[in-house]
Amino acid sequence: VQSLLVSVSPCGEILSMNREAEKITGYSQQEVVGKYWVDVLLSPEERQDNQRRVSVALKNKSHDVNFQASLLTRAGERRIIDWHGSFRTNIEKGQVGWVLFGIDKTEQINTDRTLNQAVAKWEQIFIAIQDPALIVSADSKILDANSATLTAARKTREEVVGRQLCRILHGGRKAQKRCPLEEFVRSGKARIIETELPGLHGQYMLTISPFLPEQGDIRLLVARDLSDEELSRAEQMRAAQLASIGELAAGIAHEINNPINGIINFAQLLLDDLGDDDSTTSAEILRRIISEGVRIGSIAHKLLDFARGQEVEFEAVELNQIVDNCLALIGHQLKKDGIVVEIDISRQLPEVFCSKQQMEQVLLNIFSNARYALNKKYKKADPKKKITVSATRILHNGNPYLALTVIDYGTGIEHDLMERLFDPFFSTKPKGEGTGLGLSISHGLVQDNNGFLRVRSEFGEYTTLTVGLPTQHIAGGANEGYMES
């Protein structure tokens, strides 16, 4: 028998004990026979209470009694024993009063205690983590979140725990589309990604750590807010990548330019040969060839603009002047679409030091994208069909800047597309409606002007683009900016 087995007489004296009882207590059977059971099997401080418990059971004519008690071994070690006492009358002519069966629970209790202490310590660490931290299941349900998460999300615990990860960190996703973050969580692999988390209102370095299999199919997510310095470093890496793409683009553009000019010229010659008979199907096809050739040539020209840096002439200029010039060009289209433009730029702000022409090009591209997003969301007039433009003073890398912010309340941008916004030829518009070069070129132009370009968006709600420009000349080139994307 792997449990302690002790027989006790009606007067409470030990009659016998098995080998397991000898092993646990450290006493031999000969040493304890005739001794009162509480003196051997119970620690001094627990004897009175447990003896009373047994007496009550006998008085109530119970057949058994169960209790847990400490036992002091011969060596002074404390063991925790679960006892089951079974009363036996008229056994061996009344010689045996009852039998005690005991199971040593010491190791299990110590293990449970250690585990509880570890869990309590983990909970304290989890709560004390200064960065947002979440525990999520394999299907991306949030099981727990620390206070830093609640602060960053600006939500209560009840609004976070039990919700889907994408809903809290990204604000949701389009129907039938998968969230890449939830796919990472589902894979069960450790991963570190740099990403914007609109639900936490910032750019983060997100670490996904799966727990050990025996700990359950859960993951720990810790989001570290990226500082300006880290964002600048990431921007420099992206600038290097774009420079490599630019060299490739320049080569492709040169290769395209010569044959496309030949195609356009030959098509024009054939069209001229038709003379007055230019209403035929052949003439229409030739005109389409010329039109598409011109479009290809325009793309090639944009590629060259993207690839090679242009000479930039900086001047002091008011932001209001740049905005007004852009609205003079695009204002009629905005008004026709029912889009209201609200401008809040103080005339007391200092001038920015930049290329006025390039910044007008950047702002025109931003207005054009905002117009497209608003028209896609609102087919008719709506109070929310508007663009707000504002400016404020900031310090960037220790230098005085003005941040020009343009917000549209259109379709927003899906979170899984944010990191590709500045990639050449990447467009969120349907095929044929955009070249995918607008933001890439704008990003390069802003950098050439010692500025930075940030994009923030919540899908279905808004998109914010911020252009930061210095208010004084900055020596050392253009690679001082950073973006959030």
Interval 186-191 mean pLDDT: 86
Residues 197, 69: Cα–Cα separation, whole Å:
54
Confidence check: pLDDT of 50 > 90: no
Confidence check: pLDDT of 5 > 80: yes
Per-residue pLDDT at 127 = 82
Per-residue pLDDT at 485 = 28
Per-residue pLDDT at 70 = 92
Residues 344, 390: Cα–Cα separation, whole Å:
5
Per-residue pLDDT at 102 = 93
- The larger pLDDT score, comparing residue 175 to residue 120, is at 120
Confidence check: pLDDT of 403 > 90: yes
Per-residue pLDDT band for 64 (boundaries 50, 70, 90) equals: confident
Q: Output DSSP code: residue 419.
A: G
Taking only the tens place, the pLDDT of each residue in 219-233 is: 999 998 876 556 566
Give the Å distances, CA to CA, from 442 to 275, 308, 312, 358, 369.
44, 13, 14, 8, 12
Per-residue pLDDT at 280 = 78
* 378 neighbors 371 (Cβ within 8 angstroms): no
Show Cβ contacts of residue 245 under 8 Å, excluding neighbours closer than 6 positions: 423, 424
Per-residue pLDDT at 477 = 43
Confidence check: pLDDT of 79 > 90: yes
Per-residue pLDDT at 11 = 83
Lowest mean pLDDT among 90-94, 269-273, 326-330, 381-385: 90-94
Lowest mean pLDDT among 305-314, 354-363, 388-397: 305-314
